[in-house]
Chains A and B, each alone.
With several copies, the nearest count.
Chain A
Amino acid sequence: MDLRETEAEQAFRAEARAWLSANVPQGLPSGDTTEGFALHLEWEKKLFDARWAVVSWPEEYGGRGASVWEWIAFEEEYYRAGGPQRVTQNGIFLLAPTLFEFGTQEQQDTLLPRMANAQDLWCQGWSEPGSGSDLASLKSRADKVEGGWKLNGQKTWTTRGAFCTHLFGLFRSDPASERHHGLTYFLVPLDTAGVTVRGFARLDGDEGFAEVFFDDAFVPDSAVLGGVGKGWSVAMATTGSERGLTLRSPGRYTATVDRLLTMARGQALDDTDVQRLAQAWMDAESYRLFTLQQVTNEQAGRGRPGESSLNKLLWSEMDIRLHELALDLLGPEAELEGPWSKGFQFSLSGPIYAGTNEVQRNIVSERLLGLPRK
Chain B
Amino acid sequence: MYFGLTDDALALREGLREVLETACTPAVIRAAWDGDPCEQLWKDLGSFGVPGLLLAEERGGLGLDELAFVAAVEECGYHGVPGPLVETLVSMPLASLPVDGSARVTVLSDHGPTPYAAVSTHVLDPAGSLYELTPETAEVVGTVDRSRQLAGVEGDPLPLDLSDEDVARFERRGALGTAAFLLGLARRQLDITVAYVKTRQQFGAAIGSFQAIKHPLADAVVGTEFAWPAVLRAAQALVDGDRDSDLYVSMAKALASDAAYRMSRVCLQAHGAMGYTVEYDLHLFAKRTWALSKDWGTASDHRELVAELLGIRRDA
Contact = CB atoms under 8 A, between A and B. Distances in A.
Is there direct touching of A and B in the complex, by C-beta distance under 8 Å?
yes
Interface of A: 1-6, 9, 69, 127, 130-134, 137, 156-157, 200-205, 209, 261, 264-272, 274-275, 277-279, 281-283, 285-287, 289-290, 292-293, 295-297, 300, 310, 313-314, 328, 331-337, 341, 345, 348-349, 351-353, 356-358, 360-362, 364-366, 368-374
Given A1-B67, A4-B1, A336-B143, A361 B230 contact: no
Q: What are the nearest 4 A-B pairs in CB distance?
A: A337-B142, A289-B229, A365-B214, A134-B202
Contacts of B112: 332-333
A96 B239 CA distance: 40
Contacts of A290: 225-226, 229
B276 to A, nearest CB: 5
A201 B239 contact: no
Interface residues of B, dominant DSSP = helix
B278 A292 contact: no
Given A1-B3, A268-B315, A335-B143, 5 more contacts: A130-B201, A282-B255, A358-B213, A371-B213, A372-B205
A289 B233 contact: yes
A293 B3 contact: yes
Given A279-B303, A282-B254, A293-B4, A372 B209 contact: yes
Contacts, number: 240
Nearest to B142: A337
B136 to A, nearest CB: 22
A209 B277 contact: yes
Contact of A127 (B198, B203, B273, B290): B273
18 contacts: A127-B273, A131-B202, A269-B313, A274-B312, A278-B304, A283-B226, A289-B226, A295-B3, A332-B109, A336-B141, A337-B142, A341-B144, A352-B272, A361-B215, A362-B214, A371-B198, A371-B217, A373-B209
Contacts of A333: 112
A137 to B, nearest CB: 7
A310 B221 contact: yes
Given A200-B277, A310-B221, A332-B109, A286 B229 contact: yes
Nearest to A348: B268
A348 B276 contact: yes
A221 B122 CA distance: 68
A335 B291 contact: yes
B38 interface: no
Contacts of B190: 369
Given A281-B306, A295-B3, A370-B198, A349 B232 contact: no
Contacts of A374: 205, 209
A274 B304 contact: yes
A372 B312 contact: no
B2 A296 contact: yes
B236 interface: yes
B306 A133 contact: no
A203 B290 CA distance: 13
B218 interface: yes
B208 interface: yes
A152 B101 CA distance: 53
Interface in B194-218: 194, 197-198, 201-215, 217-218
A132 B310 contact: no
A157 B279 CA distance: 12
B314 A358 contact: no
A269 B314 CA distance: 5
Contacts of A365: 208, 213-215, 217-218
